[in-house]
Amino acid sequence: MSAPSRFTIQPDDYHARFVGTTGDGLKFFITTPYEAATDTDPGTEFVAMFLWNADGTFHSADIDSFGPRETIHEMDRQDALERLFARTGEAVIEPITVAPFSLQSHGTTFGFVPFSSGDVASVTLQPGDYMSYTAPWDGESYAT
């Protein structure tokens, strides 16, 4: 099985609250990725907006780093979410069908990264691995 060329992200009240189409026709997804803390690294929290063209091809990303979770001022992170959502203009919250992608920013890999091996295929949100889509790729469910 291979990872898809397109998959659907459905809005929900959990990780996909901010997903849809911007006022100028781009597809968007706003989220809070993270690098988990370890014994030797305090981890990092982010706020990110991923944009795709109307045809679902990746367009761009805007990613803010907030440092370790224990040093975050929650109002700063909320302000960043609101600032990114304001950039969407007259947005419509709705399902979007988009292509997987990955990019490097802040020293880490971001994106909906495809994976396939044998009978297993997925598209997983990175960093943080907190949304993982599998067939039938319709966005009706994802693993957390």
pTM for the full predicted model? 0.92
Cα 70 off chain centre by: 22
Contact 103, 56 (CB under 8 A): no
Q: In the chain, where does DSSP find H-type helix?
A: 74-86
Tens-digit pLDDT profile for residues 70-117: 787 778 888 999 999 999 999 999 999 999 999 999 999 999 999 988
- Span 31-47, average pLDDT: 90
Residue 33, pLDDT score: 95
Q: Closest by alpha carbon to 42, among 64, 65, 63?
A: 65
Cα 125 off chain centre by: 6
Average pLDDT, the chain: 93
- What is the C-alpha separation between 92 and 22, in angstroms, rounded? 7
List the chain domain ranges.
7-133
